[in-house]
Amino acid sequence: MTKQELAVLNEEFGMISTLDIREVSGVPVIFVSTPDAHARIALQGGQVLSWQPAGHSAVLWTSKAAVYQTGRGVRGGVPVCWPWFGAGDGGKPAHGFVRTRMWQLRETNWLGDQLIIRLGIQDDEETRKIWNHSFDLELQVILGRTLVMRLVSRNTGSQSMTLTEGLHTYFNIGDIANTEVTGLARTLYLDKVHDMDRHIQSGAVSFTGETDRVYLDTDSICVIHDREHDRRIGIRKSGSLSTVIWNPWRDKAAGFTDMQPDEYKQMLCVETCNAASNQVVVDPGKQHVMEAEILVEAGTTRP
Ligand code: TA6
């Protein structure tokens, strides 16, 4: 992006002492500072990178070895996986193609005491070669005491489109071995670490090794009990029937060039998705909305 283009973006969307757009290693990033929260959002991938509500430590995690590079997603924050979640067939990129493409900034505005930022991406000749559909994909980020992310998939073509999708949220936790996730008890999941074996979750999810699970047919609120930080992080969702829980643990993390060896201990993905059999069909002229709301409360156990 040229300095002129950046200046025009700030002229149109900047908000004095609240929001400006800066380049980080060539990637335009929105910096937000309000009385309720600080946040960063990359225009590349429409990727929320950080969110820190007042009075709390950072809620989203990004790797200390994260690479900010055109055409490459940042390890952390909330990558947008679309129009498929998981491995792409026939050599197509994992988690779809929008997370490494530049999105347009569409709106920055106050909504009462919350700040709304809208970003979007549409099909083009390149994307139609990968996935032959016309679409408009919009991410609405509403920043306040909570973080709301709303992913709106619009079918602007003449054929129905079938998609899977994910808000692949990386959370900042104190110690994965001292962390649990509640809200998925008695829920069926596919265990990606063990050949997609099907299991029923018993009680809370705890972590003793690589964990990569797709929980199906669930719209439950999940809560991360982050004992090291003595806090609970709630993930409330709508328009989503799958929740993915992922921690790579030591060996898998060692294989990532954009992650330091021991960082896996401070991250946990609880992802708001429609994955596997929870596919979504969007008919021509229609839209599908998937929303995640992140809330933080001090104290890891109810009084
Ligand atoms: O959501 C879990 C997962 O699908 C894992 O299997 C792992 O591949 C992770 O996403 C990260 O994927 P990425 O392509 O961002 O390295």
CB 60 within 8 A of CB 169: yes
Would the CB of 118 count as within 6 Å of ligand 1? Answer: no
**Residue burial 227-238, b: 16+ Cβ < 10 Å; e: rest:** bebebbbbbbbe
CATH class of 75-298: mainly beta
Amino acid occupying residue 238? S
Alpha helix locations (H) across the chain? Answer: 3-13, 125-130, 249-254
Beta partners for residue 288, in sequence order: 153
Residue 135 contacts by C-beta under 8 Å, 6 or more apart in sequence? 83, 122, 123, 153, 154, 155, 156, 157, 161
Amino acid occupying residue 170? Y
Secondary structure (3-state) at 210 = coil
Would the CB of 192 count as within 6 Å of ligand 1? Answer: yes
pTM flag (> 0.75): yes
Residue 271 annotated to the active site = yes
Give the pLDDT of residue 259.
Answer: 96
DSSP state of 74: -
Rounded CA-CA distance 303/299 in Å is: 8
Would the CB of 86 count as within 6 Å of ligand 1? Answer: yes
Tens-level pLDDT at each residue, the chain (303 residues): 888 999 999 999 999 999 999 999 889 999 999 999 999 999 999 999 999 999 999 999 999 999 988 888 899 999 999 999 999 988 899 999 999 999 999 999 999 999 999 999 999 999 999 999 999 999 999 998 999 999 999 999 999 999 999 999 999 999 999 999 999 999 999 999 999 999 999 999 999 999 999 999 999 999 999 999 999 999 999 999 999 999 999 999 999 999 999 999 999 999 999 999 999 999 999 999 999 999 999 988 765
Would the CB of 213 count as within 6 Å of ligand 1? Answer: no
Instruction: From 248, 240, 264, select the one nearest 183 (Cα to Cα).
Output: 240
Secondary structure (3-state) at 10 = helix
Intra-chain end-to-end CA distance of the chain, in Å: 51
Rounded CA-CA distance 298/224 in Å is: 12
Output the six-digit token pair for 62: 């990004």
Q: Which of 95, 133, 165, 168 is catalytic?
A: 168
Tell me, rounded to whole angstroms, the distance of Cα 270 from its chain centroid: 9
Would the CB of 94 count as within 6 Å of ligand 1? Answer: yes
Rounded CA-CA distance 205/268 in Å is: 12
Rounded CA-CA distance 108/117 in Å is: 5
Give the pLDDT of residue 142.
Answer: 98
Name the residue ranges covered by the structural domains of the chain: 75-298
What is the position in ligand 1's atom list of the atom closest to the CA of 94?
14
What is the position in ligand 1's atom list of the atom closest to the CA of 192?
6
Give distance in angstroms: CA of 247 to centre of ligand 1. Answer: 9
CA distances in angstroms from 4 to 11, 167, 188, 193, listed in the order given: 10, 32, 52, 48
CB 139 within 8 A of CB 115: no
Residue 168 annotated to the active site = yes
